[in-house]
Amino acid sequence: MDLQIILEEIYKEVQPFISHGKVADYIPKLAAVPLEKFGMAIQTLDGDLFTIGDAVENFSIQSISKAYTLTLALQFIGEDRLWKRVGREPSGNPFNSLVQLEYENGIPRNPFINAGALVLVDIILSNSKNPSQTLLDYVRQRSDNPGIDFDAEVAASEKKTGFRNSALANFLKSFGNLENNVDSVLDAYFHQCSLSMNCIDLAKSFMMLANHGLSPWSGKQVLTESQAKRINSLMLTCGTYDAVGDFAYRVGLPGKSGVGGGIAAFVPGKLSVCVWSPGLNSYGNSLAGTLALELLTTKTGMSIF
Ligand code: GLU
């Protein structure tokens, strides 16, 4: 099976759908991203890298970063303590919902909604003096790219418009589920959303999840095999907003999406893939990106099922 040819087929087949999505417009820098961008990168466990389109162009990874905060927080405090503060169920609600947090007493449904990510950031903050730098170092190592950085303009806009995230953080604090002060947690959260990376960086960074916890670039067992399996399960059930059932049905792989239009997904034991197309569907997932991943699993017959 030639994955380069498959990428070329996918690239052609998604073209008519690229303009059907809508670019996120809650901050100016995301609103300005051209709708017609499309990139995809596949990194295999055998060491091959395949790319197409705008795979080397940086974009705002937004909520994909929540997968890094989860793995990092897990390394700091372990499973028992972490799962006392965050749940493991799909939310069935928008990623920034306040209502659910109120009636579930400040325990976010899962680590991939905003409230869950704020708790994870709080854990990192309690265990590191400079949480943003700690996260940045971690992502650079996982991607094998020391040039990765935050986008200061995006981080500043997130802060300026982050009223709902600020409400969530204050809510969490009122329930006693934040140890640190609200402003520090929000600052680290807005920075993680602003990480600027390309499809290759992302595909390489998530090799740790495709490769049973072992990051091939550092040779480091970042997660135990069991932790990697469990995080993959969570990504399958909670990683793509309130459309996770549809994504699992169509793509059949664990993955994490962001409103910047990126989606990272993996076939455990085989490959890690990232697609970027900034036009989103009504749930906030990349429209052409979801289709591209669906085509990938259909054409290759690769599946976890
Ligand atoms: N910066 C966005 C927020 O915190 C992230 C959205 C996303 O990618 O889910 O609301």
Taking the C-alpha atoms of residue 10 and residue 30, their distance in angstroms, rounded to an integer, is: 25
Q: Residue 210 corresponds to which tokens in the numbers above?
A: 């495709």
Domains of the chain: 3-300 (3.40.710.10)
Do residues 198 and 57 lie in contact, with contact meaning Cβ atoms separated by under 8 Å?
Answer: yes
Taking the C-alpha atoms of residue 106 and residue 97, their distance in angstroms, rounded to an integer, is: 12
Q: Name residue 275's beta-bridge partners.
A: 40, 263
User: Annotated catalytic, 241?
Assistant: yes
Catalytic residue, chosen from 86, 251, 259, 273, is 259
How high is the pLDDT of residue 305? 87
User: Annotated catalytic, 68?
Assistant: no
Q: Ligand 1: which of 60, 91, 193 to mutate, judged by most atoms within 8 Å of the beta carbon?
A: 193
- pLDDT tens by residue, 82-121: 999 999 999 888 778 889 999 899 999 999 999 999 999 9
- pLDDT tens by residue, 17-41: 999 999 999 999 999 999 999 999 9
User: Annotated catalytic, 189?
Assistant: yes
Q: Which atom of ligand 1 is nearest to the CA of 284?
A: 9
Distances (CA, A) of 29 to 2, 20, 53, 242, 274: 36, 20, 21, 25, 21
Q: Ligand 1: which of 64, 98, 112, 114 to mutate, judged by most atoms within 8 Å of the beta carbon?
A: 114
Q: Which residues of the chain have pLDDT under 70?
A: none
Task: Give how far the C-alpha of residue 12 lies from the chain's centroid of Cα atoms, to the nearest Å.
Answer: 26
Do residues 266 and 251 lie in contact, with contact meaning Cβ atoms separated by under 8 Å?
Answer: no
User: Annotated catalytic, 286?
Assistant: no
At 128, give phi and psi (nearest 5°).
Answer: -155, 140
